[in-house]
Amino acid sequence: DKPAMRAPVLASGLCLLIHVGQGLVHGFSSLQTQRSRVSWLAGRQSRIVLTGLSGDEGTSGEDQGRPVEADAGTGPSLPQQPMASTGGNPLQSQPTSSRPPVPIVGEPQRKLDQSYSLEQILKELAAIQQTGPRKYCILGTRHCSFLHQQIIELLSYALVLTGNHIYTSGSQGTNAAAIRGALRGERPELLTVILPQSLTKQPLESQELLKQVKNVVENSKNDDLSLDVASRLCNSKLLVSADQLIAFAFHDSYTVIEASREAQDLDIVVTTLYLD
């Protein structure tokens, strides 16, 4: 009977061991899984060590200048750029750089302070208040594109229609366009052309155009001079006769630019339009 009684006892003990063993295994596996999750989450977080700044508490001399480090298991440490302190707010930290600041795009250029005399101010006020017809001198380069010639011709035409007097020279390009525009206004008394030399010294194309002009002033005494010198003398006469200068030039159009400077010395209102 004893062996028969021992069998159920052994079976019960074996079941108990199996049940307890399953609980232990289950608890161990759950604990192991929880630990692995904690270690994985900890691995996703990196410990940031900021470089030591002079005057900061809790930093030693060895930590100053040391790059940012990360915990083990998160990969190799990456060098970080030093951060500028912004009152203790790490979200507002900005990387410092030794490069010069980038200028603001579209910032207006600073103009030097200019001193104006009382006489200059009175002249400016008189020019603003003057609403009647004026005398305009139109000068410019010979090397003028077709589009620019159309613009100059339209400008001259509009000035004549509003009763203004046009003064110009007889060369090709800008001056020829100004003549054509003034002739379109059908008021020949409002156009005066001053030539640097005699009419026969002008190109044939200019001579054909000048035949339509009523007021043509020749300077035959300058026939022996070079065209450059004669043109400078002619520009001086034109500026004396005009109230305002409108010049069309390139930056290397020395004769036209010189006329613009001369007009400024004469206190004439100057408008210089550069074609380049």
For each of the chain's 276 residues, which pLDDT tens digit applies? 555 555 555 566 655 555 555 554 455 455 555 555 545 555 554 444 444 444 444 444 444 444 444 444 445 555 555 554 445 554 455 555 566 555 554 444 445 556 667 777 777 777 666 667 889 999 999 998 999 999 999 999 999 999 999 999 988 999 999 999 999 999 999 999 999 999 999 888 899 999 999 999 999 999 999 999 999 999 999 999 999 999 999 998 899 999 999 999 998 889 999 998
- 209-216 — which CB contacts under 8 Å span 24+ positions? 209/170, 209/176, 209/179, 209/180, 210/170, 210/179, 212/183, 213/179, 213/183, 213/188, 214/188, 214/189, 215/188, 215/189, 215/191, 216/170
Task: Name the β-bridge partners of 95.
Answer: 83
- Rounded CA separation 203/199 (Å): 9
Enter the pTM of the model. 0.56
Residue 124 lies in a domain: no
Residue 35 lies in a domain: no
Task: Give the three-class secondary structure for 211.
Answer: coil
Which pLDDT belongs to residue 126?
Answer: 73
- Rounded CA separation 54/83 (Å): 13
Which pLDDT belongs to residue 64?
Answer: 47
What burial letters (b/e) apply to 20-35, b meaning 16+ CB within 10 Å? eeeeeeeeeeeeeeee
Which pLDDT belongs to residue 221?
Answer: 93
Residue 39 lies in a domain: no
Residue 181 lies in a domain: yes
Q: What is the CATH number of the domain that holds 256?
A: 3.40.50.450
Q: With beta carbons less than 8 A apart as the criterion, state whether 151 and 158 touch.
A: no
Angle 147-134-212 (CA atoms, 0-180°, nearest 5)? 55
Task: Give the three-class secondary structure for 216.
Answer: strand
Residue 155 lies in a domain: yes
Which pLDDT belongs to residue 267?
Answer: 85
Determine the structural domain holding residue 186 and report its residue range. 139-274
Residue 218 lies in a domain: yes
Residue 122 lies in a domain: no
Which pLDDT belongs to residue 224?
Answer: 92
Residue 25 lies in a domain: no
Within 10 angstroms of residue 148's Cβ, the number of other Cβ atoms is: 18
Q: With beta carbons less than 8 A apart as the criterion, state whether 145 and 275 touch.
A: yes
Domain count, the chain: 1
Which pLDDT belongs to residue 116?
Answer: 67
Which pLDDT belongs to residue 58?
Answer: 43
- Rounded CA separation 213/167 (Å): 12
